[in-house]
Structures are given as structure tokens and as C-alpha cells.
């Protein structure tokens, strides 16, 4: 990372497999940079406080709330936004199960589930429950989201029961 001055930085980011260079305020969040510098508006501003999960992206395959990360922290990290996913199992399952109503929270849910699939490809019911608690759907499409996630994973509980 090179510095123009101490509170502005030129940062090279790896976003959806492409190298992008941005000049940002040190105090700028990654959410703002992705949307306003790079035009990646799939990550949604919701609470801007780390509560709702609408801005979730993947950073080195881990779900991260982009409102809780400074852009300057993302130097050298692999960033994936919803625009970087193309016809994944998670996207297909959400579409087939109509796991949304207004759709505002959907990119965040999908990125979280994509991260779960990458980190725990055989996640059990408890792991799914814990991970999905990171996102809020104001339209309360939780049943449909749950069905979509069920379709993605071959899920078994510790007792061997299907999800």
C-alpha cells in the first residue's frame, strides 16, 4: 500500500479475480469503496453498524461485513462480492426456492452461505443455524432461505438426521 499522505492511501485490491487500484481515505469502509469507487452495488448498505449482514462479502473466503472493514485493511486480500458469483449452487437454490421477497438482504445471505459452503462444505444443522444468525431479512423470508440452504448442503445432524 502506498500512501499519498497519512490519511489517504492508494490501495491495490483483488476483487472478483481482478486487480483494482483505488485512492481512498484511510477512514473509508470497504463497503463504500466497493459501491462508490468500483460500482459493485451488490453489497448493500443496511445498518452500517455490523448488525444486519446486508453488506456481507467474502474476504479470503471468509464472510465479512464490509461496513466493519476499512478499505486499507483489505490490501492483499482476495475479495469476492455477489457480482463475482456466476450461477453457483447457492444462487440457484435461492432462486428456485424464491428465498427472498424484496431481495435487499439477498446478496448478503448468499455471500454468507457461499462462505459457509467453502469453509464447511458438510455443515451440520447447528453450524448452519449459527452462521445464518449473522443476517437479517426484514421481510422474514427465513423459511424459504432455510429451504434454499437445505438444498445446497447435504446436511446431517450429529444424530444422522437430515436437516
Q: Where are the alpha helices (DSSP H) in the chain?
A: 30-32, 89-96, 106-119, 125-132, 142-152
CB atoms within 10 A of CB 121: 10
Distance CA 61, CA 112 (A): 10
Region of 22-30, 97-105, 141-149, 150-158 interacting with other proteins (CB under 8 A): 22-30
Per CB under 8 A, 63 contacts other proteins: yes
Output 24 or 99, the one with its CB closest to other proteins.
24
Q: CA angle at residue 14 from 28 to 21, to 5 degrees?
A: 60
Per CB under 8 A, 62 contacts other proteins: yes
Output 6 or 86, the one with its CB closest to other proteins.
6
Question: Given the rule CB under 8 A, which residues bind other proteins?
Answer: 1, 6-7, 9, 25-29, 32, 48-50, 53, 56, 62-65, 67-70, 72-73, 112, 129-131, 133-135
Amino acid at each position: 500500500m502506498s500512501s499519498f499522505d497519512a490519511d489517504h492511501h492508494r490501495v491495490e485490491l483483488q476483487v472478483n479475480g481482478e486487480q483494482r487500484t483505488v485512492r481512498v481515505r484511510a477512514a473509508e469502509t470497504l463497503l463504500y469503496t466497493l459501491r462508490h469507487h468500483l460500482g459493485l452495488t451488490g453489497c448493500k448498505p443496511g445498518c452500517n453498524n455490523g448488525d444486519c449482514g446486508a453488506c456481507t462479502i467474502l474476504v479470503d473466503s471468509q464472510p465479512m461485513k464490509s461496513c466493519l472493514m476499512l478499505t486499507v485493511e483489505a490490501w492483499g486480500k482476495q475479495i469476492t462480492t455477489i457480482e463475482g458469483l456466476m450461477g453457483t449452487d447457492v444462487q440457484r437454490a435461492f432462486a428456485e426456492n424464491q428465498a427472498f421477497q424484496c431481495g435487499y438482504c439477498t446478496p448478503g445471505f448468499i455471500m454468507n452461505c457461499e462462505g459457509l459452503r467453502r469453509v464447511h462444505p458438510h455443515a451440520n444443522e447447528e453450524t448452519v443455524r449459527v452462521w445464518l444468525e449473522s443476517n437479517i431479512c426484514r421481510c422474514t423470508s427465513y423459511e424459504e432461505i432455510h429451504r434454499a440452504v437445505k438444498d445446497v448442503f447435504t446436511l446431517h445432524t450429529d444424530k444422522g438426521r437430515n436437516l
